[in-house]
Amino acid sequence: MNYPVWQLAATGGGLWIILIAVFHVYISHFAVGGGLFLVFAERKAAREKSQAMLDYVRGHAKFFLLLTMVAGSITGVGIWFIIALLNPDATSILIHTFVFAWAMEWVFFLLEIVSLFLYAYTFGRMVGWKHRLLGWIYFFSAWMSLFLINGIIDFMLTPGTWPQDGNVFSGFFNPSFWPSLAFRTFLSLIIAGLFGLVTATWLKERELRDSMVRFSARWLLVPFALFVASAWWYRLALPLEVQELIFTRMPSMQPFISGMLYTTPILVFAGLLCIFHLPPFISRLLALGLLVVGQLYIGCFEFIREGGRRPFIIYDVMYSTSILTKDMDRIQDVGLLSQAKWVAHHQVTQENTHEAGREIYNLLCLSCHAIDGPMRDIKKLAAPYTPSGLDAMMSGMHVFHPSMPPFAGTALERSALAAFITERLVGRYDLPPAQLPAKEVALPDFDAENNAYLLSVWSPVGMKHVAEIDGVLSLLPPKAELRAQLLERGELPEIISEDVLVSYRIEGADAGTLSGEMESRDDYFIAENIVYNPAGSGGFDPYPVLVVTARDMEGTILATTKVVLPVSTEIGCSTCHGSSPELGQKAGLGRSTAFNILAMHDQFSGTDLTLQAQKGEMVRCRDCHADSRFQAKGNGRALNLSAAIHGFHANYLRGRGEAACNFCHPSSLTGSTRMFRDIHAAFGLECTSCHGVLEDQALGLLKKELQAGKERARALMQRLPAQAVSSVEAIEPRSPWIQQPDCLHCHVEFEPPETDTLVQAFTENGEGLYQNRTDESGRIFCATCHSSPHAVYPADNPYGEMLDVLQPMQYQDNRLPLGANENCQLCHTIAMEDEMHHPNSLRAFRNE
């Protein structure tokens, strides 16, 4: 924030680091081990009195000089150049903290240059032991450079107690200093052998070639045991959280860890192979191949080391965004742009959203991410997201993507960055609400004087969510449900459930497309597996009207009514997991969206669900994750589906209140379909008024799973703060779909509520759920008179004023619950003086 930003665009900072630093590290290690290689090779030539061998050493020394002094020096300067541009703040800390260490390193580097030049150009001009002394001076100088740089480099990974005491020796001799020094020293010797093989295999004299190839091969094999031991020591020296980060929590590290594991035996096996006489062509090819393998090995190691300190550039001191950890809270509070010196926009406004977003991108993203580049292309990474989806992702990216720092800035700045990336770079926008055509429904006839029966039908859920792609993913199968009660009207109405057939069919279409018979149960009828796709050929229709008819066994119609079957495919997966062509301008789960979800699951959970789906084998979430709605027990190890989904996504949707619900559920008052349409919405209540905010919901579900011994729940809970209660400890554990908001916690004794917010007021079991609750007789369902949850009378559907009140309008010509306002004659045929169903049932409806 304190320096102007270098515009890298397509390359990004990471590519430059790879192109320059990894190559330099390879050469610099060769510069250390190669010096000792020269001394021992010259001693071997002197001991064997071989002028040919001495000539080889002279030639190898010139090759060594050219590579290390030219390429090594240029790339060394290149590293200083690139880090000063990409992370000037971190570079400043390293220079000011270790100024004397850098000065000493430069002195030893000067000594390296002088001694190596003297060594390379005095062959045959000095007595042997004096000449080798120059080689020893060079090796000591090179190793001391490694000693000094090693302390500074490892300070960035394990700064030790330096952040607390500021002592330069605490930072230099940090916890990983000695194991890293040993590791790099033995690695340098191995690399010296690799380069020795390259020059030795090009010797023309067979005997000399074989001798020097075997000599070089021993440089691979002899230090190998100590090298492996030092590598293990290096790993143990890392803090436990760094070890967990590298080897467990960062899947992106696994290819590089595997790369080191696979190349190690290659180096050993090839080294053993070189001991034997091989044809010149094969030996040269093998030597060059090993040189490439060595470069890959160094690349993997450096990538792991660099990745191990993510999201920091200096571990726990400065983030990769050049923001000090101690300043993060303040910047999140006052804003990033207000603290940045080299920006044109110091605040986000409606007019400068994209321009300010671009500057935020430059400050926070550009040093690692490219635009249309080969590494970490932000356009490719952001392609699945809408602006609101990317905003949510960035708010929780540090939780499940440990390489990413927390977003440094306000919510408004985060939104501006998301808008710039998605709208300006990717070309994705939040979907506008669909404008569905209003429906006009003709009501069936009802004559209170002559009709002997009343049929009440409802959906046990206010909106059935559907999320299933055939042959790919089944999250929520397309099985809607209807329930019905048939009453024979009279002074004491009788519930009819035997010797009656109740059937349903969709109105305004071929009855065969959606029709069936309801099954008779004690006191009611049910249809459990109604398959309906609201995104059919006739356009999107989440509120199909069904005609439901009750007949006696002779086929005589006893009663007919109409009801909507609320079904929506507009679950919000495509907000963050990419849209699919078949979705068009609707949210939902498409084929591409489903594969994106499976890929994310594979990344975070180590599964192979994508491969399974590619084979055409349906992935059913409930096969692993228990789901009581479908009597699915899961595999007994994974979190139940509700806990897994809410627990995971709550980390991205924290602090959003009701808006968090709208990300996944079609519950927004401005959405295409509205699952919350009843009288409570008209009073201004929100989803969170009864269900609580997402954080508390997730914590309750996760605590229940934690009690069952599922430790995964603990990881998801770590960063979720309780909202409605004082602490996470005060959150009550609960079971999904069984312990839901209890109406009678607000409507105590059916009285007007004294509060408009429920706090952990859940039903004890399934019997207390609204959809299962009955009146005092135990026979008439609450929904028989009040309709579906989330759509209780008088409900208000934006796509037809009567859609959710068809039965009250049919039976009593108003929108109120059946029998309200002392309309007991609807069923009883006489005025009632005693309350039969529940207390206060005879009073006037207070919210007419």
pLDDT in tens, 430-473: 988 777 788 899 999 999 999 999 999 999 998 999 999 999 99
The DSSP string of 81-116 is: HHHHHH-HHHHHHHHHHSHHHHHHHHHHHHHHHHHH
Buried b (16+ CB within 10 A) or exposed e, 474-494: bbbbbbbbbbbbbbebeeebe
Quick check: 486 and 526 in contact, CB under 8 A? no
Confidence (pLDDT) at 87: 86
For residue 691, the model assigns a pLDDT of: 92
b/e per residue 192-212 (b: at least 16 CB within 10 A): bbbbbbbbbbebeeeebbbbb
In this prediction the pTM is: 0.88
pLDDT attached to residue 846:
64
Look at 354 and 263; give whichever has higher pLDDT.
Answer: 354
pLDDT at 848 over 60: no
pLDDT at 273 over 90: no
CB 394 within 8 A of CB 407: yes
DSSP assignment string, 474-514:
EEE-S-EEEEEEEEE-SSS-EEE-SSEEEEEEETTS-GGGS
| Res. 18: pLDDT tops 90 | no
**Which of 152-161, 299-308, 787-796 has the weakest average pLDDT?**
299-308
Whether the CB-CB separation of 30 and 67 falls below 8 Å is answered with: yes
Region 111-128 average pLDDT: 92
755-768 per-position pLDDT tens digit: 778 888 899 988 89
Q: Please determine, for residue 636, whether its predicted confidence score (pLDDT) is greater than 90.
A: yes
In this prediction, residues 54-73 reach a mean pLDDT of 93
What pLDDT score was predicted for residue 645? 97
Mean pLDDT, to the nearest integer, of 710-736? Answer: 94
- Distance from the first to the final alpha carbon of the chain: 59
* Cβ proximity of 173 and 151 under 8 Å: yes
- Rounded to an integer, the average pLDDT of 72-77 is 90
DSSP 331-343: HHHH-STTT-SS-
Mean pLDDT of 731-750: 90
Beta bridge partners of 495: 487
Token reading at 437? 């055509």
Tally the C-alpha atoms within 13 A of residue 173's C-alpha that lie toward its C-beta: 3
Reported as a pLDDT band with limits 50, 70 and 90, residue 1 is low
pLDDT for 161 beyond 60? yes
- For range 70-86, the mean pLDDT: 88
Paired with 774 in beta bridges are: 781
Q: What is the pLDDT, as a whole number, of residue 669?
A: 67
Whether residue 367 is predicted with pLDDT greater than 90 in this model: the reply is no
Element (H, E) at 516: strand 515-517
Per-domain residue ranges for the chain? 12-318, 325-426, 637-655+693-732
pLDDT of residue 93: 94
Contact criterion met (CB below 8 Å) for 623 and 372: no
**pLDDT for 514-540, tens place per residue?**
899 999 999 999 999 899 988 876 678
Indicate the burial class of 422 (C-beta count within 10 angstroms; 0-12, 13-18, 19 or more). Answer: buried
Confidence (pLDDT) at 538: 67
Q: Give the Cα separation of 390 and 396 in Å (integer).
A: 10
Examine the pLDDT at 719 and tell me if it is beyond 60.
Answer: yes
Distance, CA of 678 to CA of 808 (rounded, Å): 14
pLDDT for residue 427: 94
Helix, strand, or coil (residue 16): helix
Amino acid identity of residue 450, one-letter, is N
pLDDT tens-digit series, residues 582-631: 888 888 999 999 999 999 999 889 899 999 999 999 999 999 999 998 99
Would 12-318 and 325-426 be classified into the same CATH topology?
no
On whether the CB atoms of residues 678 and 803 are closer than 8 A, the answer is no
Q: Amino acid identity, residue 72?
A: G
Q: What share of the chain is helix, strand, coil (3-state, %, to 5)?
A: 50, 10, 40
Distances (CA, A) of 284 to 194, 197, 218, 272, 391: 11, 8, 17, 15, 54
The whole-number pLDDT of residue 512 equals 62
User: Mapping DSSP to helix (H, G, I), strand (E, B) and coil, where does residue 587 land?
Assistant: coil
Hey, which residues does 469 pair with through a beta bridge? 473
What residue type is assigned to position 103 of the chain? A
**Extended strands (E) in 557-640:** 557-564, 567-568, 619-620
Does pLDDT of 85 surpass 90? no
Per CATH, the number for 12-318 is 1.20.1630
Higher pLDDT, 216 or 17: 216
Which CATH class name applies to 325-426?
mainly alpha
Mean per-residue pLDDT, 750-779:
88
Q: How confident is the model at residue 413 (pLDDT cuts 50, 70, 90)?
A: very high
The continuous run of DSSP H or E covering 275 comes out as: helix 254-275
Alpha-carbon distance 762 to 639, whole Å?
A: 21
Contact of 549 with 650, CB cutoff 8 Å: no
For residues 640-645, average pLDDT: 97
